[in-house]
Amino acid sequence: MVSAVLLLGTLNPAAAETKRVLMLHSFGGDFNKPWSEYAKNIRTELDQQSPWPLEFGDHSLMDASNQDYSEAPFAEYLHALYANRPADLIVSLGGPAVAFVQRHRQQLFPTSPMIFTAVEQRRIRYSTLTENDTVVAVAHSFPAIFENILRVLPDTKIVAVVNGGSSPNERFWLEELKRETEQFTGRLTFIWYNEFSLEQILNHVAELPPQSAIFFHLMNTDAAGIVHDDGKVLKQIHSVANAPIFAHSDGFFGDGIVGGPMHSVIEGSRLTASVAVRILGGERASDIKVLATGFATPKFDWREMRRWGISETRLMPGSEIYFREPNLWDQYWLQLLAVCVVILLQTALLAWLLYERSHRRRSQAET
């Protein structure tokens, strides 16, 4: 898939300064949260921060979820497309795209500066980074997510984990998840859905036992090898699940997850764009060092809190609550205030009339 957006408006002398930015996506730029959210927000931030006109090109590693995918044809296509006119900057989004470009760096883009972003730090081969590379990564803490589940729902005994099926990316994260959940032995029992088809997952989450929760990590493929869109799968799970859902990225926030500590797509995109502008301005990519960012301020969906009986008193200090439904005063304060004013005026008028009547009677009695 190839698309280009020219943000020049009309030709003018500044057009000579146009910067070409190649966006290399893991799963496609128009679907698959949270990467689609990163792509959209990075472009928006770049448009706002860049002093130059920008020309964007988008390419997708569409079969990144397929373990039998041959990268050679796609690599050859990119080489032919950019060999004579390299991009001023390459933004590689997501683990599969990062892995692909690191394997083919010298063949495809030997001198073009590159940012690896929307990726967890464990998916980067730091030993192979060149002087033209920099990283804007995130740092997962799966234990923090499960501790949050136990904090807001202390009776939880079972966590069902949605982590896709057979793709290399999913296999990598399955091992990481199992390693990081060992510390919860005796506190939580984990159900792993990596050997389930999506249909089986939907059937299973609809009949989870009491005191269960769901952790949605990713779903590139299911055990049957069928490719899926993470965002659509999450909505399907939410429509049938009988247990609350948690996730690691706020790219899913508002789609049925409870919330908690998560990565901020907006903050990560803003940081990526600021680094991109520095590189386009002439700084060497490897001179820009960015620490991997952890989870942002915890935030929660009030609608899901109410659904699952989660009290605000159980939230982490500093947590933010979204989608709270306004109470009667919030919705009708102006009308209520007007009614109160009318009642007060009527009361005052009645009191004055009673006073006048009483005063008149005393006057008549005295005469």
Residue 290's nearest CA partner among 111, 133, 130, 92 is: 133
Residue 88 has pLDDT above 50, yes or no: yes
Burial profile 117-130: b = 16 or more Cβ within 10 angstroms, e = fewer: bbbbeebbeeeebe
| Residue range 265-305, pLDDT digits in tens | 999 999 999 999 999 999 999 999 999 999 999 999 999 99
Contact 54, 87 (CB under 8 A): no
Which is the CATH superfamily of the domain at 2-138+266-287?
Response regulator (3.40.50.2300)
| 133-137, 161-165, 200-204, 285-289: least confident range | 161-165
Residue 4 has pLDDT above 50, yes or no: no
Residue 109's nearest CA partner among 4, 21, 168 is: 21
Residue 33's nearest CA partner among 94, 100, 90, 101 is: 94
Residue 177 has pLDDT above 80, yes or no: yes
* Three-state SS sequence of 11-50: CCHHHHHCEEEEEEECCCCCCCCCHHHHHHHHHHHHHHHC
Residue 252 has pLDDT above 70, yes or no: yes
Average pLDDT over residues 168-184: 96
**Structure confidence at residue 1 (pLDDT):** 37
Residue 270 has which token pair?
């803003």
Cα–Cα distances (Å) from 39 to 5, 82, 90, 297, in that order, read 14, 21, 13, 22
Residue 359 has pLDDT above 80, yes or no: no
| Residue range 100-132, pLDDT digits in tens | 999 999 988 999 999 999 999 999 999 999 999
HSE value, Cβ hemisphere, 13 Å, CA-based, for 159 = 30
Write the class of the CATH domain 142-262+297-322: alpha beta
Q: Report residue 186 CA to chain centroid gap.
A: 31
Handedness of CA 38, 271, 114, 139 (dihedral sign): negative
Residue 149 has pLDDT above 80, yes or no: yes
**Structure confidence at residue 15 (pLDDT):** 45
Cα–Cα distances (Å) from 87 to 44, 81, 286, 297, in that order, read 19, 10, 17, 36
| Residue range 5-56, pLDDT digits in tens | 333 343 344 445 899 999 999 886 566 889 899 999 999 999 999 999 999 9
Residue 31's nearest CA partner among 227, 165, 215, 193 is: 227
Residue 348 has pLDDT above 90, yes or no: no
Point out which residues pair with 93 in neighbouring strands: 25, 117
